[in-house]
Amino acid sequence: MSEPVREPLRIGVLGAARITERALVDPARAAGHRLVAVAARDRSRAEAFAGRHGVERVAGSYADLLADPEVEVVYNPLANGLHGPWNLAALAAGKHVLTEKPSASNAEEAAEVREAAAKSGTVFMEGFHYLFHPVTRRLHELLDSGELGELRRVETLVAIPAPEDGDPRWSLSLAGGAVMDLGCYSLHAQRMLARWAGGAPSLVSARGGERAGAPGVDEWLDAELAFPGGATGSARCHMAYDGLEMSCRIIGTKGEASAPNFVLPHLDDRVVVRTADGERTEHLGTRSSYAYQLEAFAARVREGTPVPLDADDAVATMTLVDACYRAAGLPPRPRSVVGN
């Protein structure tokens, strides 16, 4: 007997961001979901996006898209500072929300998003897509199995070459900075190890450097963490690096495992395991982590299947992000006030 076919999601897209094709359009098309509408501040960009990606119609504004009764899911890939306001607006409109990380500009705003999600009764999920890929799942399985022994140390680094000077990621008013764009992955990956470390990590220290010409905006930041069970963590990020590196190394009392690119495992699907028995390399598959993420989100919306990324998790991440900024002598990101 065949399984019942899941009803496609009816998705509305805010903006015409570059990440949307990889993060949503391709996985949605492969899974048979509908791209019902798109809105952008520049209507011509929205029209071009709709034409390229088969979106059914163009909404006149973000508010018009949220008012569309056929749109049940809102995908928010806007600049960081616009995540919070439009997540709040989408939840108030009764929509399910899949938002790019981070969910808000700071922990206070993230808490408001959590309250709005609880009030709306709809699904809210922050897009830490890496968590759904077999690469990260395998790292967790290796801890579960006991092969690595007890967790002692975690090292994460997420770094990219510098975006252009005018990029929104260098804008304090749009909640830019290395931690917001990259370091949130480093921190989140460590937070997800709480079950093997006696609880969630706390911040020990942080240091960072400002981007020249962008006061208050971090070009890099290194954070040291401590877990209740005695393990320690190093969570680093750099947004003007000499290459791309997105690595995670987990060290236990019996061995270690590393993923050279845990954030974008479709580029490198290796997990390298080193124990007293020797070294081995496992390949976990180059299917996009975004495809796994959308599957999990759809299952949550349609069947109520639990996911680890909810509004509570988003608040915990932003609380740690804010703490890193303060410890490094930088301000937490200000919230944005936006119109239609």
* Nearby residues of 122 by Cβ (< 8 Å), 6 or more positions away: 91, 94, 95, 96, 97
Domain ranges of the chain: 10-129+292-310, 130-287
Superfamily the domain 10-129+292-310 falls into:
NAD(P)-binding Rossmann-like Domain (3.40.50.720)
Tens of pLDDT, residue by residue, the chain (340 residues): 334 458 999 999 999 988 999 999 999 999 999 999 999 999 999 999 999 999 999 999 999 999 999 999 999 999 999 999 999 999 999 999 999 999 999 999 999 999 999 999 999 999 999 999 999 999 999 999 999 999 999 999 999 999 999 999 999 999 999 999 999 999 999 999 999 999 999 999 999 999 999 999 999 999 999 999 999 999 999 999 999 999 999 999 999 999 999 999 999 999 999 999 999 999 999 999 999 999 999 999 999 999 999 999 999 999 999 999 999 999 999 998 776 5
Q: Please name the amino acid found at residue 162.
A: A
Closest CA to 133 of 34, 27, 9: 27
Distance CA 102, CA 319 (A): 11
Let me know: does 23 contact 290? Beta carbons within 8 Å: yes
Distance CA 127, CA 103 (A): 9
pLDDT of 1 reads 37
Q: Which two tokens stand for residue 107?
A: 């922990």
Cβ contact 125:297 at 8 Å: yes
pLDDT value of residue 5: 59
| Count of residues making up the chain | 340
Could you tell me how many helices (H) and strands (E) the chain has, helices first? Answer: 11, 14
Instruction: Estimate to the nearest angstrom the gap between the alpha carbon of 74 and the chain centroid.
Output: 16
CATH topology identical between 10-129+292-310 and 130-287 = no
Contact assessment for residue 99 and residue 85, using Cβ atoms and an 8 Å cutoff: no
- Whole-number Å distance between alpha carbons of 132 and 126: 12
Backbone angles phi, psi at 234, to 5 degrees: -120, 115
Chain Cα centroid distance, residue 313: 11
Fold for 130-287, please state it: Dihydrodipicolinate Reductase; domain 2 (3.30.360)
Residues 48-98 pLDDT 10s: 999 999 999 999 999 999 999 999 999 999 999 999 999 999 999 999 999
User: Quick one: how far is CA 328 from the chain centroid?
Assistant: 22
pLDDT at residue 339 in the model? 60
Strand 10-14 and strand 34-39: the pairing is parallel
